[in-house]
Amino acid sequence: MFKVPRKLPISAISTFSTTGSISAQQQPRVFPLQHLNENEKKLVEKVKNFAQSSVKPLVREMDRDARINKQLLKKAFDLKLMGLKIDPKYGGSGVSFFELVLAVEELSKIDPAIALIMHLQNALVAPLIEEFGNEELKEKYLKKLCKDSVGAFALSEVVSGSDAFAMQTVAKKDGDHFILNGSKWGISNAPIADFFLVLANADPEKGYRGVTCFIVDRDHEGVVLGEQDDNLGMRAGTIAQVHLNSVRVPKTSIVGEYGKGYKYAIEVLNASRIVIGAQMVGLAQGCFDQTIPYLQERKQFGSRLIDF
């Protein structure tokens, strides 16, 4: 099972005086989870250096163009950030869930868009394959995720969101294959994905008990990418619709057991939501870090903004 630790990282909020400095009485409270071990400190520093030296100079350009810089993504792979949670035997770093949260939070301080790409790879796509896939799928796809491939999690639909009872994408059995038909909406990483984890109902009469997870390669016949969404604030995060037009896949592409797809999805989604929280904490901290210096420098009516 994909387990989530009870303890989660909490970022302390520093108080400040009107002079812009912290007094002895205003020292921020230090929470126990801020006492990081050496491995955690090294990972945070590694991500921080990557964010400052490689990501920051490209943030405006990527947001303007609404796409991730390919060389930047390659560097994320080279630093093993795209396979953080994956077992080292498949080429990953095998870090803890806590370390993943720390990494996403740190990267989000500079750019939540690339942090989203890393987050989805490590908290949705890889765990579902690693926890529930057979060894053949793990060998093939986990190694790809660590090397140079991006995966996407295709659950949501226009009318159903994550409601399995209203899911309209179906998988019809055809001998040793399944034929997938339907459309997925708002799929993060879709424009840059090399493959998709597609949730489709193979037995609609059973409701969510018919939902099954399939791995579908992007270049598979019948897979059509819709227009990319234009997102406020995270335009480089790349979100789009995915259309499945009579996509014929072998039964060996099923991840885990037939009819257990929705159960698997809920498990990884629950963990992923914690990482989303870390992403937003990092974004807020990044805004805070840029705002304070501006308030200290900008003057109106003869006073600094921070003094009002």
Q: What pLDDT is recorded for position 206?
A: 92
pLDDT averages per 10-residue partition of the chain, 308 residues? 46 41 53 81 97 96 92 97 97 96 97 94 97 97 98 91 79 97 95 97 93 97 91 82 98 97 94 95 94 92 89
Q: What pLDDT is recorded for position 33?
A: 66
The domain ranges of the chain are 24-149+263-307, 151-258
Q: What is the 3-state secondary structure of the chain?
A: CCCCCCCCCCCCCCCCCCCCCCCHHHCCCCCHHHCCCHHHHHHHHHHHHHHHHHHHHHHHHHHHHCCCCHHHHHHHHHCCHHHCCCCHHHCCCCCCHHHHHHHHHHHHCCCHHHHHHHHHHHHHHHHHHHHHCCHHHHHHHHHHHHHCCCEEEECCECCCECCHHHCCCEEEEECCEEEEEEEEEEEECHHHCCEEEEEEECCHHHHHHHEEEEEEECCCCCEEEEEECCCCCCHHHCEEEEEEEEEEEEHHHECCCCCCHHHHHHHHHHHHHHHHHHHHHHHHHHHHHHHHHHHHHCEECCEEHHHC
Q: What pLDDT is recorded for position 204?
A: 92
Thinking of the domain 151-258, which architecture would CATH place it in? Beta Barrel (2.40)
Q: What pLDDT is recorded for position 131?
A: 97
Specify the CATH number of the domain 24-149+263-307: 1.10.540.10
Q: What pLDDT is recorded for position 274?
A: 95
Q: What pLDDT is recorded for position 76?
A: 98
Q: What pLDDT is recorded for position 308?
A: 86
